[in-house]
Chains A and B, each alone.
Chain A
Amino acid sequence: MTARIAVLALLGALVLMPYLWMVAASLKPVSEIFRASLSLWPEHFAAAENYGKVLARVPVLHYLWNGVVVCGGILVFQLLFAVPAGYALAKLRFPGRGLAFGAVMLGLLVPPHVPALPLYVAASGLGLLDSYTALIAPFTISVFAIFLFRQFFGALPDDLLHAARLDGMGEWSIVWRVVLPNAWPAATAFAIFSVVSHWNDLFWPLIVVQGHAHATPALGVLYFRSEEAGDDFGAMMAAAVLMTLPLVLAFLLAQRRFVEGIATTGLKG
C-alpha cells in the first residue's frame, strides 16, 4: 500500500517538474537562471522584476479578457444551437430528422482544421480578420455538442414529456421548463470540455489574429516570447505562469467536475 503511494508520489513529482521549474524560474533573476543551478529555491527573489516586466510590456489582463470573451462567446452559441437541436433529434418526430442526424455523424468525423482554409478566405473577404467574430464564429456550431445532448436527452423518460404535454405545455415550453433544467449535467460537462479546448487552442487564433487587440492568452505567450523576452527566461516563465494560472485555478477548485466532464465528453466523443 505504501509502495503504491511511493511510486505515485515519484511519478507525480516527475509530472509536476515543468510547473515547479516554471514557477521557480519566474522568481529568479536572470543571472541566477544562467548559472543553471539545480536549486529550485531562488537565492535572490526577482519576482517583482519578472512579473513587473511582463505586466508592463504586454497587456496580460487584456489577453486573459480576450480569452474569456472568446471562450464565453463560443460556449454560449454552441449551447444555443446544440441544446434545441439535440432535444429535437432525440425526442421529436419531424421530416428530415434522419438526414439531420446523418449530418451530425458526418460532422463528427471532420477535424476543425479541415474547414479552416475556406473560413480564413471568407473572413478575409468579409474584412473580419483580427476580430472577435473571426475567433468565435467558426466554433459556434459543435456537432459534438449536438451529439452529446442528443444522447443525454435520449435518456430522459418519454413519460416525462408525455406528462408535460398532457399538462398542456407546448413543445417550446417543454424545452424551456422541462428539458433545460434537466440539461445541466451534460451542459457543465460540455462547457468544461469546450472551454479547455478553446482556451488552449493556438491554431485558429494564430491564423486570424494579427495584433495585441484580439490576442488570446495562447497568442499572448507567443508574442511575449518572440517580441520581448528573448533569453530572459525569468520574465518568460512569469508570463507563462500568468497565462496558465486562470484555468489551472479553476481546475483545482472544481477538479472532480473537470475530470468527470472530460471523461464523459471524452468517452462519448
Chain B
Amino acid sequence: MRQRSQLAGEAIAGALMTLPAGIAYLLLLLLPTLATVLLAFSDYELGAPVLGWIGLDNFREMLADRGFGVSVRNTLIYVGLVTPASILGGLGLALLVEAGARGRALFRAVFFLPVVSLTVAMAAAWQYLLHPTIGPVNAALRAMGLGTPFWLSSSDTVLLSLAAIGTWESIGFNMVLFMAGLTAIPRELYAAAQVDGARSAFDRFRLVTWPLLGPTTLFVLTISMIRSLRVFDTVAVLTQGGPNKASEVLLFTMYQQGFTYLRLGYSAAITLVFLAVVLALMWVQTRVLDRRVHYA
C-alpha cells in the first residue's frame, strides 16, 4: 500500500517537475525549430499577408546564387583556418602551461582572457590594431621595412584577418579543455613510459599523452568546428561581409536575408543548411570517431 502510494507520488512529482521546462521547450525550441523547417519551403516575407508553398525553390535559388556559394566557401575556409590553428595552439599552450608549476595560474588566466571578453568590443580593438594606416600592426611592419596589407579591407586578407581574430578568441577555450584532459592522465603511466624506455619528452607524448588525450581532442575538434561555423559577431562588426562579399559567411548571409531583406523563407532554408552541417559534424563525432578514441 505504502509502496504504491510512494510510486504514485514519485510519478506525479516527476511529471510536475518537468512540466515547466516541457512547456518552455515546446514553445521556445521545438515549435520554432519545426516552424523554421516549414518556412524553408515557403516564400514567406515579413509583413506579407499570405504565404505560399514553393517546395524546394529556396534550395534551388541557393544553388544558383553565386553569393551563397561564396558564403559557403568563405565559411569553410574560415573553419579550415581557425579549427586547426586553435586546436594545435590550445594543445601547445596546455602542454606548456601544465609542464611546470610556476606561473600556471597566471598564464592560464592570460590565455583564457579573450574567452570572457566582449567579442564586439575586442573586435573594435582589433580593427584599430589592424587599421591600414594608423594601426600598430602596420606601424610595426613599416618600421621593419615590410609591406603593410589592408588586412580587413582587402578581399585577399580579410578572411585571414578574421580567422586570426577567431583563433585568438578560442585558443584559450581549447587550452582549458586540453588542460582538463591532461590532468585526467594517470601520473604512473608517465613513470611506466620512462622505465619502458621513452627517453625524450616527445617519446612520452607519443606513447602516453597523445593517445590518452584522444577523447578530449575529438571533442575539442567537434566543438571548435561548430563554434567557428557560427562565426557572426566579428563579421557583423568589422566587415559586414565585405569587401565585395569576400567575408560573407553562412550565418551573416542568413541574418541579412532574414532580418535586413526580410526574406524569411529563404533565410530559413539557409538556416537548415547550417543545421545540417552541424548535425553531420556531431554524427561523425559520435558514430565514426568515438569508437577509435575510447578504449573501453
Q: Which residues of A contact B (CB under 8 A)?
A: 1, 4-5, 7-8, 11-12, 15-19, 21-22, 25, 33-38, 77, 80-82, 84-85, 87-89, 92-97, 100, 103, 107, 109-111, 113-122, 124, 137-138, 140-141, 143, 146, 165, 170-172, 175, 196, 199-200, 202-203, 206-207, 217-219, 221-222, 225, 233, 236-237, 239-241, 243-244, 247-248, 250-252, 255-256, 258-259, 262-264, 266-267, 269
Contact = CB atoms under 8 A, between A and B. Distances in A.
Contacts of B10: 92-94, 171
A221 B120 contact: yes
Interface stretch (B18-26, B64-72, B151-159): B18-26
Nearest to A34: B134
B200 interface: no
A123 to B, nearest CB: 11
By secondary structure, the A interface counts as: helix
Contact of A92 (B14, B22, B177): B14
Given A92-B13, A114-B36, A141 B21 contact: yes
B31 A243 contact: no
Given A171-B13, A244-B118, A247-B116, A236 B124 contact: yes
Given A114-B275, A141-B24, A244 B122 contact: yes
Interface stretch (B79-87, B94-102, B206-214, B287-295): B94-102
Interface string B101-126: 01101011111111111111110111
Contact of B110 (A12, A88, A263): A12
Contact of B33 (A97, A115, A122): A115
Interface in B137-185: 138-140, 143, 168, 171-173, 176-177, 179-180
B168 A15 contact: yes
A16 B107 CA distance: 11
B232 interface: yes
A8 B119 contact: no
B290 to A, nearest CB: 15
Contacts of B251: 113, 203
Interface stretch (B53-61, B191-199, B241-249, B252-260): B252-260
Interface of B: 6-7, 9-15, 17-18, 20-22, 24-25, 28-33, 35-36, 39, 46, 93, 96-97, 99-100, 102-103, 105, 107-122, 124-126, 128-129, 131, 133-136, 138-140, 143, 168, 171-173, 176-177, 179-180, 216, 219, 223, 226, 230, 232-233, 236-237, 251, 254-255, 258-259, 264, 267-268, 271, 274-275, 278-279, 282
Contacts of A250: 116
A264 B97 CA distance: 19
A92 B15 CA distance: 9
A182 B80 CA distance: 42
B24 A18 contact: no
Nearest to A139: B28
8 contacts: A15-B172, A36-B135, A36-B138, A84-B17, A85-B20, A117-B264, A218-B119, A263-B177
B32 A119 contact: yes
Nearest to B93: A11
B28 A138 contact: yes
Contacts of A5: 100, 102-103
Contact of A81 (B21, B115, B232, B279): B21
Given A203-B255, A236-B128, A263 B179 contact: yes
B216 to A, nearest CB: 8
B243 to A, nearest CB: 18
Contacts of B135: 36
A36 B136 contact: yes
B274 A114 contact: yes
A82 B93 CA distance: 35
Nearest to A35: B134
A211 B282 CA distance: 38
A117 B33 contact: no
Contact of A207 (B29, B179, B219, B259): B259
